[in-house]
A = this chain, B = another copy of it.
Amino acid sequence: MICVLSGGVGAARLLRALSEYDPALDLRAVVNVGDDLVMHGLQICPDLDTITYTLAGLNNEEQGWGLTGETWRVMQELGALGGDAWFGLGDRDLATHLYRTQRLHAGSNKTEVAAEIAHHFQLGVDLLPATNDPLATEFHTEVGILSFQEYFVRHHHDVVVTSIDFRGAAAARLTSQAAEALRDADRIVIAPSNPLISIGPILAIPGVREALRERRDDVIAVSPIIGGAALKGPADRLLRELGHDVSPVGVARYYRDLVGTMVIDEVDVELRASIEELGLECRVTTTIMKNPDHARHLAAVVMA
């Protein structure tokens, strides 16, 4: 059994690569909920949904986000009505949020709803929200404190961040399902997601760092930084603003006490020695998963 600490797009692609590499694999994703938000009264879980849509083959691969065949009628009408339409919710996507919200109102928790949705789409991967308790990633910035989606979507992650806070994390409890996955996994993989704001919120839940530290040799992380930049999103900018090296070495240093092995891209092969000097093993392969062959290679390296 493999447990993958997961953010959104990068994690979704790694999970897809792993499940295609070995369809019989017991694969469990412990998923970040720090981006979750309530919008228009609807409970939205962006990372869970990105993984769900990707594994279901419904993600818009060209666009890089959202669903195939998406339509935007509700948002068009909401915009016309003068409503808050900056956070785009497609009609197809909205159905997921209505479903989840209805089930939560009926007394289910995020873990149960995620399992129902995964079952509906026959995903073959267990999607486990890291916690069912409130946990919200917040950005302290030059324009004030911003919620995740205000920073990410409304401001296009184009403001200077001075610090990141995971509100609620200290009191949040890892779900029993996520705890079991971390404890029983043959290998724990940290997906090539943003270390600070996708993996960070999971690590901020009491007990997670300890669980990884105890099994450091079984923990392998895939660097989301390739050739000095993030493939997607503000990981590079945030690492820089918060004083980290924008390189796989910076990522290795950030994960140092939790991770036994780093996987880095071939373009960064000359950084292998620096990572090994930090006391981590290092494997080098192609890590850009847009190419299915490369995705298979990466899966093979992670599973080796």
Q: Which of A70-78, A185-193, A239-247 contacts B (4 or more CB under 8 A)?
A: A70-78
A101-B71 contact, Cβ under 8 Å, with A94-B94, A95-B81, A95-B83: no
Interface residues of A in 88-107 (CB under 8 A from B): 91-92, 94-99, 101-102, 104-105
Q: How many copies does the complex hold?
A: 2
Closest B residue to A104 by beta carbon equals B41
A77–B105 contact, CB under 8 A?
Answer: no
Interface residues of A in 205-225 (CB under 8 A from B): none
A40 at the interface (CB under 8 A from B): yes
CB-contact partner of A96 in B43, B81, B98, under 8 A: B81
A82–B42 contact, CB under 8 A?
Answer: no
List B contacts of A116 (CB < 8 A): 82
List B contacts of A231 (CB < 8 A): none
B99–A74 contact, CB under 8 A?
Answer: no
Closest B residue to A96 by beta carbon equals B81
A117 at the interface (CB under 8 A from B): yes
A38 at the interface (CB under 8 A from B): yes
Closest B residue to A121 by beta carbon equals B81
List B contacts of A120 (CB < 8 A): 81-82
Smallest beta-carbon distance A91→chain B, Å? 4
B77–A41 contact, CB under 8 A?
Answer: no
A1 at the interface (CB under 8 A from B): no
Write the residues of chain A forming the contact surface with B, with a CB cutoff of 8 angstroms: 38-43, 71, 73-78, 80-84, 91-92, 94-99, 101-102, 104-105, 116-117, 120
Given contacts A40-B99, A73-B92, A81-B120, 12 further A-B contacts (CB under 8 A): A38-B41, A38-B105, A40-B98, A40-B102, A41-B98, A42-B42, A42-B101, A73-B91, A74-B98, A78-B95, A83-B99, A84-B102
Q: List 28 A-B contacts (CB under 8 A).
A: A38-B41, A38-B105, A39-B102, A40-B42, A40-B101, A40-B105, A41-B41, A41-B104, A71-B71, A73-B73, A73-B91, A74-B98, A75-B95, A76-B95, A77-B92, A77-B95, A77-B96, A78-B95, A78-B99, A80-B95, A81-B95, A81-B96, A81-B117, A82-B120, A83-B95, A83-B102, A84-B102, A91-B91
